[in-house]
Structure formats: structure tokens, C-alpha cells
Amino acid sequence: MEPVFALLTGLFLTVSVYLMLSKSIIRMLLGVAILGNAVNLLLFTNGRILREVPPVIAAGLDVPAGPTANPLPQALILTAIVISFSFFAFLLVLAWRAYGTLGADNTDRMRVAEPEDGGPPPSGY
């Protein structure tokens, strides 16, 4: 099962990089969201996917009696989901504000600081 998840992680990373290199802000945001999911899947895959018993140590033992599921990747993924959702929400509000102010979602048309017909930059100050 791990090779399937590894291939899926690679596919997610490829799609996210492709979308983040786009000129549309919405496509960039979707790329960031898919990148967060790819990182979560990478953490999950590296944490050994097991369908064994939960990591509960029985009374009188110092270590689990048999193979158990690893709880650390699950905790990291839950934390990463919350962080990536809040980051995506912040970027979505930022993109909405930029679209409302500038009237475009294409990064080439959002060139307020560097107008295309503004002439060369100043040679000195």
C-alpha cells in the first residue's frame, strides 16, 4: 500500500507545483491547498501504514506486546491540517482583497508597482 501512497504523493506534488507556477491567483491557491495535502500524505506514508491494534500498553508491560499503529504521524497530520486550512483561508482573503482592489486575478495585470508603460526606472536618487 505504501508504493501507491508514494505515487499519489508524487502526483500531488507535481500538480501543486504546476498550479503554483500559474499566473492566475486562484490556481496558485489551489496549488497551495494541494501541496498541503501532499505533505500530509507524505507524513502519513512515512509513518508506516499499519492496521494493527491501537498503541495502548497493557497493564504490567513497559512496551506494547505486538506491532501497533504509530500515533505520531497522525498527530502531526491533524496539526498540519489545521495550519494548512488557516493558511489557505488567509491566502483566500488576501486574494479576494487583491481582486477587489485591482480588478484582476492575473499576476501580469496586477502590476501596480511596475507599470508596463511607465518607462525605465530612475537611474539614481
Give residue-wise pLDDT tens across range 71-122.
788 888 899 999 999 999 999 999 999 898 888 888 888 877 666 676 776 7
The half-sphere exposure of 94 on its side-chain side, counting CA atoms within 13 A, is 9
Which residue from 108, 83, 78, 110 is spatially nearest to 94, judged by alpha carbons?
110
Which residue from 39, 74, 40, 37 is spatially nearest to 55, judged by alpha carbons?
74
Cα separation, 110 vs 28, whole angstroms: 14
Global confidence as pTM:
0.74
What is 16-46 written as a DSSP string?
HHHHHTSSBHHHHHHHHHHHHHHHHHHHHHH
Cα separation, 114 vs 120, whole angstroms: 10
31: confidence class by pLDDT, cuts 50, 70, 90 = very high
